[in-house]
Structure 1
Amino acid sequence: MPKHRPLNEDALQLVAARFAVLSEPMRLRLIQSLFEGERNVTDLVEATGGTQANVSRHLQTLTAAHILARRKEGLQVFYRISDPTIPKLCELVCGSLEKSLSRQIGHLTPE
Structure 2
Amino acid sequence: MAVMNKAVLHQVAEYFKVLSEVSRLEVLCSLKHGAKNVTQIMAETGLGQANVSKHLKILTQAGMVKRQPHGVQVYYEITDPTILPMCELVSRGLANRLEFQLQEFHSIL
Q: Same fold (TM over 0.5)?
A: yes
1:29-79 deviation digits (Å, cap 9, x = unpaired)? 011111111111101011111110011000000000000011011121111
2:41 match: 44
Identify the match of residue 20 of structure 2 among 20, 23, 45: 23
Structure 2, unpaired ranges of 5+ = none
Cα offset for 1:104? 1.6
Percent of paired sites with the same residue: 43
State the 1:107 CA deviation: 2.3
Alignment-derived partner of residue 89 in structure 2? 92
Post-superposition shift, 1:87? Answer: 1.3
Residue matched to 1:6: 3
Stretch moving more, 51-60 or 99-108:
99-108
Aligned length: 108
Instruction: Give CA deviations for 1:76-111 in whole Å, capped at 9, x if unaligned.
Output: 111111001111111111110110111122223367
Return the TM-score normalized by structure 1.
0.91
The TM-score normalised by the length of structure 2 is 0.93
Letter in 2 for 1:32: C
Structure 1 residue runs without a partner (length 5+): none
Backbone CA RMSD of aligned residues: 1.3
Amino acid at match of 1:89: M
Q: Give the corresponding residue for 1:101.
A: 98
CA–CA separation in structure 1 for the residues paired with 2:66 and 2:13? 21
